[in-house]
Amino acid sequence: MHVRRLGVMLPASLLLVAGCSSAAVVKPASPGQDSGEGIQISTSHCGQGWTDPHAGPQDLRFTNTDTVSAEAYVVDVPRGAVYGEMEGLAPGVTRSLPITLGSGTYAIKCAVEDNDPIVGPSVHITGSSPGGPALVPVNYNDLYGPAREYQKYVAGGLKTLVAKTATLAADVDRGDLKAAKKSWLPAHLAYERLGAAYGTFGDFDGAIDGRPAGLPGGVHDPDFTGFHRVEYGLWHGESAKSVRSAADRLLKDVKALKADFPNEDLPPEDLPLRAHEILENTLQFELTGKSDEGSGTSLATAEANLEGTRHTLDVLRALLKPRYAALPQTDVQLDRVQSLLDAQNHGGTWTPLQDLSGTDRESIDGAVGDLLERLAPIATTLFPRGSQ
């Protein structure tokens, strides 16, 4: 998973504002000196050197005259909406930022590594040219509430997970593998609905929901554990004794996760990323059949992942409404994917992926792909830009 940090560039497809800096690097300046090459980014001279503020399309040139990496934002005054941003500007380096500015008052906000963000002097622009799109930024405090709400959701989901996994383990322990096949899916889906928290689970995620890919022994490797190990045993004719060991280990790991979760924190800045990543993983693993170890329930897992995505959006909705105009269309697309998946649920028995008609498979893949495109900008839209 790719978490956006200071100095790391997001894919251009995720940038909502005119904030993709040019890759061209101009002659380096000496750190701490005014190179004359561009608007200064530093703790002492933030925003100085903006000598030709004007309306319309333009390339602003920024020079990092500090001694550490920095980010620069073009913001309006006093609202603070971001019209452009540049990331990972190394000391002594000058880069260009394509941007369109309209009539108004603007300033440069400098985020220098290991320092609080500061705002430079204001400049006033007149003219009739319309400005480019702007993004009202969020800060870390804005995301704490949604993160706490999601943690409560996960805590409740873990209780359900333990109960359903205990049922699965009990069925296996008494040798009733037919019943175990029925109880496996509800237990597995209880885990899959917790999508946005998987990064917080650490090693538990691999132990509980890992795949055999990459293990020397494949499905027979002793490090292949969790739901998919139990799935493999149940649908490949293993004995109750063989499956029992995997099921007991799974229940132990699930209980340990529940006990450990109160000590874990979901980083607030990770939540917007998960809105896209959950279904990205679904497209990569569930909708290709890579995660199926015999149960044929990939589409049920996809629906559980969709539910996790929907809940992630719900806790972020108040922040998204004033910032992401495509949110209503995203909700429509969520419902479309839901409808397509529901059509493959026949009273609790799901169509195996390989039994889908070509038309149905293309419809599901296309709808999920379209939904991913609509979800992708959320990571940038809600990326916290400073503490103020």
For the stretch 67-104, pLDDT in tens is 999 999 999 998 888 999 898 999 999 999 999 999 99
pTM for the predicted model, two decimal places: 0.78
CATH 2.60.40 fits 12-125, yes or no: yes
Out of 3.40.50.720, 1.10.10.520, 3.30.70.330, 1.20.1420.20, the CATH code matching 140-202+249-381 is 1.20.1420.20
- For 62-99, the DSSP string reads EEE-SSS-EEEEEEETTT--EEEEEEEE-TT-EEEEEE
Residue 134's pLDDT is what? 81
Parts of the chain belonging to CATH 2.60.40: 12-125
Whether the Cβ atoms of residue 324 and residue 381 lie closer than 8 Å to each other: yes
Instruction: Identify the DSSP state of 20.
Output: -
Cα separation, 166 vs 6, in Å, equals 43
Which residues sit opposite 56 in a β-bridge?
101
Token digits of residue 379: 């990571």
Parts of the chain belonging to CATH 1.20.1420.20: 140-202+249-381
Q: What percentage of the chain has pLDDT greater than the value 70?
A: 90
pLDDT tens-digit series, residues 165-174: 999 999 999 9
Number of continuous H segments (helices) and E segments (strands) in the chain: 10, 11
Report which of 52, 27, 30, 32 is spatially closest to residue 42, judged by C-alpha positions.
32
Residue 326: CB atoms within 10 A of its CB come to: 17
pLDDT tens-digit series, residues 129-167: 788 778 888 888 999 999 999 999 999 999 999 999 999
